[in-house]
Amino acid sequence: MKNISRENTFKLICSVRDIVEKEIGLPKYFEEDSSKINMELSEVDFQGVSNGFLSEIVYAITGYEVEVIGEVEELFSCPCCGFKTLTELYDRIEGTGYEICPYCNWQDDGTSDINSYRSINKGSIVDYRNELRINSNKYYTNKWLDGKG
């Protein structure tokens, strides 16, 4: 199996996206909502994304089985779903955090009590975990590294 770097994987995805956008005139679909026209990908969108998931994307685009290699950027584990999705942790003193997990949608507010109702999340961590069990987003289960490992 051939290797491809994370950097080249990003370039591949951007170039394919450019072609598709030109072909179908993607921005035209959003004329009524101009805020959505600038949907350019940035490398930040791939921070923490697992090499396995990127390999799947390369396969979906090209049909080639390749192994994406390179160091995955270190992110923090979401207190709710456990995937490494957060670029910073909640810190009341520093005033940082409050990130919304892109997998489970839990907003990190420093809660460690999983049963505690949080008004910012309109529910508890247990509620969010139950919701994930019912409506798991299978497409993303391989996207981020598991915080436990």
Residues that bind Zn ion (CB under 5 A): 78, 80-81, 101, 103-104, 106
Q: How far is the CB of 102 from Zn ion (least distance, A)?
A: 8
CA 104 to chain centre: 10
Q: How far is the CB of 66 from Zn ion (least distance, A)?
A: 29
Q: How far is the CB of 144 from Zn ion (least distance, A)?
A: 9
Q: Please, which residue, 8 or 105, has the CB nearer to Zn ion?
A: 105
Q: Please, which residue, 2 or 138, has the CB nearer to Zn ion?
A: 138
Q: Please, which residue, 54 or 104, has the CB nearer to Zn ion?
A: 104
Kindly give, in sequence order, each residue whose CB lies less than 8 Å from that of residue 68, ignoring residues fewer than 6 positions away.
3, 4, 5, 6, 9, 51, 52, 54, 55, 58
